[in-house]
Chains A and B, each alone.
Chain A
Amino acid sequence: MDFLTRPKRSTLFQLNESDLMCKNSCGFYGNPEWHGLCSRCFRDYQKTTESGPHHRTGAKAVATEKAASGHHHHRPPPSSSTVAKDVPPSTFDRFVSKKRQQSERKAHTMRSIFAASTTASKDIAGDHPKPARQVSADVQCVVREFNEFLQTLPKPVATDIVQRVQVVSNKLLEFSAADYSVDEMSKIANTFYEEFSERLNRHDLYAGLGEEASSKLMDYAESYILVRSYKYLFCPPTTDDEDKDLVMQNRVRKLNWVTALRLGAIVDEINPDVREAMDAAITDLIEVDTKKTVDAKLKSIVECCRHIAAMLQRSGNGPPSADQFLPAVIYLVLKANPPRMQSNIKFITRFANPNHLRTGEAGYFFTNLCCAVSFIESMDAKSLEMTEEEFLQYMSGDVSSPASLYDQQTFMCDGLRQMNKNLQLLHELQQRQNRLIENIKAEREGMDEFWESCFERARNLKEKFPLTIHPRKQLPVFEYGSANNTEQHAKALSDSITASPDPIPGTTTTAFSDPIPGTSTTASPDPIPGTTTTISSDPIPGTSTTASPDPIPGTTTTASPDPIPGTSTTVSSDPIPGTSNTVSPDPIPGTSTTVSSDPIPGTTTTASPDPIPGTSTTASPDPIPGTSSKEEMAVPEADPLIKF
């Protein structure tokens, strides 16, 4: 309403001053109703042209114009007085008068806006019958369609139909003129539907009529009888429909804070496609009131509901179920606040063909609309799953919820909406980006921790099995002896070691002479620490030959299962620190020695790829992938040889 009048007002202000002046250019303002003359000039003009009766009519015309001028045109009242004084007005006076004129004009316009809006609102809320011309146009339209349809039917059938329909229609008109109650009329209409449908089904005359044609026929008959007496049947003054309409409208207004989510519907209100469907649905729902027949009203409702379904489908997944649909209808009614909702619902329930309402799609949608209205009427804290207090606060307006997304966007142009949507998208992207960065950070920390723990582990292992380099002379003869409890061995060892101060293991081994070669070989793959120690220290003659040509441990690694070349590894899965000491005398610095008597094979392997410089990795006879079992067999034999 407002935007319609705004441009009009601006054009009113754009009148040129010359248009306002008297045509006689006497300096006063003229008035279009006085042929553009000022009041004085017009009186003169009348005097010159009038004669007897003409004068009267002229005066009358002026009187009516005067009354009319109250609405649209301004007649500057001071002009006549200034004319009487016969003094040309000063420029200031003219300025003042013009200003007043403008402000009054403005006031008039405002008044006219109000006048227009009040009549319009009366139209919407009241039971003012529509202008006769409009109704007749509707009637004509329905009659024309009905006639066209009847043309397609055989003549006797058409005649019969016309007769029946006419009688009922006239009867309804008659009754409504006689102020019968609406219920009476509803009864008449319903009886007619029932009997007419019965007749269509049973009477021989209609035998040739297809199912489709007869249902169409029913619709036309219904439309015809209703449209003729619409103004009596719709929102009749004998009922309180109008009051209910107003109550409903106020209630919907009070409930404007209810969001779709609160009702249980998922409506993606930012999505332009969804909005489009929603706007269409709202338009359809509001249009219901403008339609004059039940059929047309129902069609609008069906369209509305289809749009709602589309709206849900676009914002959710798959075809919406009733669990989604009803909340959406409720939400839409709240957003649309359709005029005269109760009257329309009453009208349809009273006068629609009950069969039509019972089984058809229209009936279903209409029922949903009824449910929505009924729900809105009885909506309370419990049905919205909120506390009584909260509900009352919202209802009284003490607390206002943030405007719903729909409302926020109602007054935006498409560009802004798009922008908003894009902003939303960017926001989401940013959030995702942040999440990603955080994840990366966490991952990095995890890796650092892993490193740390690896170091830690290696350190622990080192501490547990410290690599102490004893002076060569203190080679752990006794420990060996104690470990093995073989006096003979110990003696032999100490002898050999003392005998050979040579640091090169190769030579040591040569000095060795294992007394029991057979046992060493069998024991070599054995992971049991006790036995291994004996073996490791045991120089096996057979293998010693292979190892002996290679005196440097570093080169031996090739034979060892250690994947890291260059670092020498020794394999002695000996848990006894003492024995590792035997290993330790490894004279070549930098090369590492050993360890790994970690009892847990798994951890050893994880730790093993650890490229800690200088530290040795290890390897127990544990099966490291890639190394063949044959090698394994050979390695433990070879390694100790290298050591010693």
Chain B
Amino acid sequence: MTAPLEGTPRGAYNFKVVLLGEGAVGKTSLVLRYVENKFNERHESTLQASFLTKKLSIGGKRVNLAIWDTAGQERFHALGPIYYRDSNGAILTYDITDEDSFQKVKNWVKELKKMLGTDICIVIVGNKLDLEKQRNVPVAVAEEYAASVGAKHFQTSAKQNKGVEELFFDLSKRMIEQGDRIDAAKRNGPGGGGSRSGQGNVTLLDESEPQPTKSGCC
């Protein structure tokens, strides 16, 4: 895994976060708001909004977030696994005025749990809080559901910049914990050691210390 161990001072945590959700629930707006603090502007500097990175520091730990936006149209649903493969976090977004989009989130949760188990940190986000008056998904229902699947629930408004920062901050924190846990398990668990010694030929190389003898190959 990329997330280096706690003991390594040099490396930073590299996390892949995938944005899932129906089309037009505001996935792109959410991430644009977070990374560039912009909403719905024509900006020449941003060439594309589907892949964005953000560096942050949490408790002295450096974190690089790579945020992958995905196409939300139903016809691309089957491509989901290609996108969320190997991701550390998933942000499942729905539109609080759209009950259907919340159902989609439920489907995504099921799928993610099935494919990735508990390795992935899931956040469920109700976006478009600024349209509170037209709400169709009750907060209580959404929160209850999130708790039942071990996910966090946030309510955001990309338009009014509400809750966006908190959402990413919380997700990052949880991903750090998760990463540390996995790494520790890898280190201590018999499985991790086994897999390494399995490739004996290369391990042999790894054991040899660098020698000062000059190599003439290059």
Give chain A's interface residues, CB within 8 Å of chain B: 143, 146-147, 150, 155-157, 159-160, 162-164, 166-168, 171, 187-188, 191-192, 195, 199, 201-202, 205, 207, 211, 264, 305-306, 309-310, 312-313, 317-323, 325-327, 354-355, 358-361, 363-365, 367-368, 370-371, 374-375, 378, 382-385
Task: Answer yes or no: B73 CB below 8 A from chain A CBs.
Answer: yes
Task: Answer yes or no: B169 CB below 8 A from chain A CBs.
Answer: no
Q: Give the A-B pair count, Cβ closer than 8 A.
A: 150
Give the contacting residue for B50; candidates A187, A320, A354, A363; CB below 8 A.
A320
Chain B residue, CB-CB nearest to A361: B51
Known: A163-B210, A321-B28. A359 touches B202 (CB 8 A): no
Return A85 CB to nearest CB of chain B, in Å: 70
Give chain B's interface residues, CB within 8 Å of chain A: 2, 4, 8, 10-12, 14-16, 19, 23-24, 27-28, 32, 40-43, 46-51, 53, 64, 66, 68-73, 75-76, 78-79, 82-83, 86, 199, 201-203, 205-206, 210-215, 217-218
Closest 4 CB pairs of A and B: A160-B210, A321-B28, A309-B48, A322-B69
Return B35 CB to nearest CB of chain A, in Å: 11
Q: How far is the CA of A378 from the CA of B81 in the complex (A)?
A: 15
Known: A192-B202, A306-B47. A367 touches B83 (CB 8 A): yes
Known: A162-B217, A201-B10, A371-B83. A364 touches B51 (CB 8 A): yes
Some 5 contacts from A to B, beta carbons below 8 A apart, are A168-B205, A195-B206, A306-B48, A359-B16, A375-B79
Classify the interface of chain B: helix, strand, loop or mixed. loop
Return B65 CB to nearest CB of chain A, in Å: 9
Chain A residue, CB-CB nearest to B70: A322
Tell whether, in the assembled complex, residue A166 and residue B215 are in contact, meaning their CB atoms are under 8 Å apart.
yes
Chain A residue, CB-CB nearest to B83: A367
Besides A159-B215, A306-B47, A323-B24, 6 new A-B residue pairs in contact (Cβ under 8 A), listed by A number: A163-B215, A188-B202, A313-B47, A320-B48, A321-B27, A359-B64
Known: A319-B49, A365-B51. A211 touches B212 (CB 8 A): no
Tell whether, in the assembled complex, residue B82 and residue A371 are in contact, meaning their CB atoms are under 8 Å apart.
yes
What residues of B have a CB within 8 angstroms of the CB of A207 in the complex?
10
Give the contacting residue for B66; candidates A305, A327, A360, A375; CB below 8 A.
A360
Give the contacting residue for B2; candidates A168, A264, A305, A355; CB below 8 A.
A355
Give the contacting residue for B43; candidates A171, A192, A319; CB below 8 A.
A319
Q: How far is the CA of A593 from the CA of B217 in the complex (A)?
A: 118
Tell whether, in the assembled complex, residue B214 and residue A159 are in contact, meaning their CB atoms are under 8 Å apart.
yes
Q: How far is the CA of A192 from the CA of B201 in the complex (A)?
A: 10
What residues of B have a CB within 8 angstroms of the CB of A168 in the complex?
202, 205
Q: How far is the CA of A147 from the CA of B23 in the complex (A)?
A: 48
Tell whether, in the assembled complex, residue A326 and residue B71 are in contact, meaning their CB atoms are under 8 Å apart.
yes
